[in-house]
Amino acid sequence: MANIIQAVRGMNDLLPDQTSTWQAVESIIKTTLSEYAYKEIRLPLLEKTTLFSRSIGGATDIVEKEMYTFADRNGDNLTLRPEGTAGCVRAGIQNGLFHNQTQRLWYTGPMFRHERPQKGRYRQFYQTGVECFGFDGPDIDCELIALSARIWRKLGLDNVKLELNSLGSIESRTAYIKVLTAYLSDNTDELDEDSKRRLKSNPLRVLDSKNPDMQNIIERAPKLIDYLDSASLEHFNQLKKMLTSHEIEFHINPRLVRGLDYYSRTVFEWTTDQLGAQGAICAGGRFDGLVAQLGGKQVPAVGFAMGLERIIELVKINGSTMLSGHIDIYMCLLGNEAKKTGMLLAEKLRDKSLSVLAHCGDGSIKSQLKQADKSGAKVALILGEDEVGSGKIIIKPLREKKSQYSVDQKDIFSHLLP
Ligand code: ATP
Ligand code: MG
């Protein structure tokens, strides 16, 4: 087939055999969020480009090279959102959500980054993000981490690790950046090209390098944690205590700096070694300065975003079977009269919340039963001309060794419902 139109590179179709897992994972995440009384916010996919350059920071990977930016028909500069925090803060300021009130919000949907596509890294990918506003203590940081830990438990993921660090206040970080810059400048011969560039534009990001050749110099670098201001250190110590009392294991990673400019104090990442190089499944932290930076008043904030593709890949590896889509009944229908009766009966079964796949089109009983088996349904119901005449229907269990039997159509519910 020449000239067939293909999807944009790095943008995937989620096919029907994948979507039941997606739905199950999304539903577990949503249920958990409502157990913590978080509320959904729905945000535009497009925002003004300046929103992202002003919040994420000019010298970050996202703003430097990953954004899908274009001028629309009016010449306005717009960007497909690369992440959700900036839009969420913008919406909160614009709609007065931060006036004398706290917020616990979540959103979900596609994000767009022009990265090199590879396993676990796409140009359109899905995140569920959570953002809390108006809380400055470590208690909310702990709540967010406990919430994410609960999601992993429910999904059956026990091979995940929590990495934790504190970036301190803007002032203490600025002081640290001076020390780090001096150290890196004394060792420029060990820096790769990327890091040389970052040393000038955003030295903290050098610590974030994934280049194995850079690990030695990074390992020896002065540690941010030794330069924390006393209030940030106290916040960090409190958080560690709370996590311990929640029995949530954590690993301090002094090199965890996160790629975005707006973070302060707590930062964390949930990682796994089961996904190869793309091991971060969830990342977040505090961004106490962002609301004011975007024109609102000073409002403390903390949040995280989970990468759904990576989480779903992990769910598949860990073989969670509860997450596959299910059908209760496959209804085999032979002949026009059977179809009329059967489709109405299927409606009544759906009224009782059973999921029913009614056979459409023709097909012998043999081929219909084959499809019934393939569908994963627990039972087949068979309705032919004889059954229509006698008011009966045949029940054929598909997943247990039990032969088929015939019952009155009007009694069908008592045979199928617990
Ligand atoms: P990475 O270091 O893997 O590039 P990041 O720091 O850029 O991640 P965040 O912006 O913090 O990622 O996004 C939060 C989560 O979203 C990540 O932990 C990851 O699970 C997921 N994610 C980020 N970028 C992509 C992508 N291009 N494709 C798929 N998932 C992604
Ligand atoms: Mg990235």
Which pairs with CB-CB distance under 8 Å and at least 24 residues apart come from 396-405? 396/369, 396/372, 398/330, 398/372, 398/373
Q: Which ligand is nearest to the CA of 278?
A: 1
- The residue to mutate among 278, 286, 315, having the most atoms of ligand 1 within 8 angstroms of its beta carbon, is 278
pLDDT of residue 378: 93
In 221-302, which ranges are continuous DSSP H helix? Answer: 230-245, 290-293
Closest CA to 409 of 383, 384, 382, 391: 391
CA-proximal residue: ligand 1, atom 8 (nearest): 280
Give the strand pairing for 280-286 and 301-307.
Answer: antiparallel
SS (H, E, C) 341-396: HHHHHHHHHHHCCCCEEECCCCCCHHHHHHHHHHHCCCEEEEECHHHHHHCEEEEE
Q: Which ligand is nearest to the CA of 65?
A: 2
CA-proximal residue: ligand 1, atom 7 (nearest): 259
- Ligand 1 pocket, residues with Cβ under 6 angstroms: 83, 113, 115, 120-122, 125, 127, 259, 278, 280-283, 305, 307, 309-310
How far apart CA 254 and CA 42 sit, in angstroms, is 35
How far apart CA 45 and CA 73 sit, in angstroms, is 17
In eight-state DSSP terms, residue 216 is: H
Q: Which ligand is nearest to the CA of 56?
A: 1
- The residue to mutate among 113, 115, 127, 163, having the most atoms of ligand 1 within 8 angstroms of its beta carbon, is 127
CA 324 to ligand 2 center in whole angstroms: 30
- Ligand 1 atom closest to the Cα of residue 280 is 18
Give the strand pairing for 39-40 and 103-112.
Answer: parallel
Angle at 240 between CA 236 and CA 241, to 5 degrees: 120
Question: What are the respective helix, strand and coil percentages of the chain, to the nearest 5?
Answer: 45, 20, 35
CA 61 to ligand 2 center in whole angstroms: 7
* CB environment 210-237: b (16+ within 10 A), e (fewer): eeeebeebbeebeebbebbbeebbebbe
Per-residue model confidence as pLDDT tens for the chain (418 residues): 567 999 999 999 999 989 989 999 999 999 999 999 999 999 999 999 999 999 988 778 888 899 999 999 999 999 999 999 999 999 999 999 999 999 999 999 999 999 999 999 999 999 999 999 999 999 999 999 999 999 999 999 989 999 999 999 888 888 999 999 999 999 999 999 989 998 988 898 899 888 899 999 999 999 988 999 999 999 999 999 999 999 999 999 988 987 677 888 999 999 999 999 899 999 999 999 999 999 999 999 999 999 999 999 999 998 665 556 678 999 999 999 999 999 999 999 999 999 999 999 999 999 999 999 999 899 999 999 999 999 999 999 999 999 999 999 999 999 988 7
Which amino acid type is present at position 352?
A: K
pLDDT of residue 78: 98
pLDDT of residue 283: 97
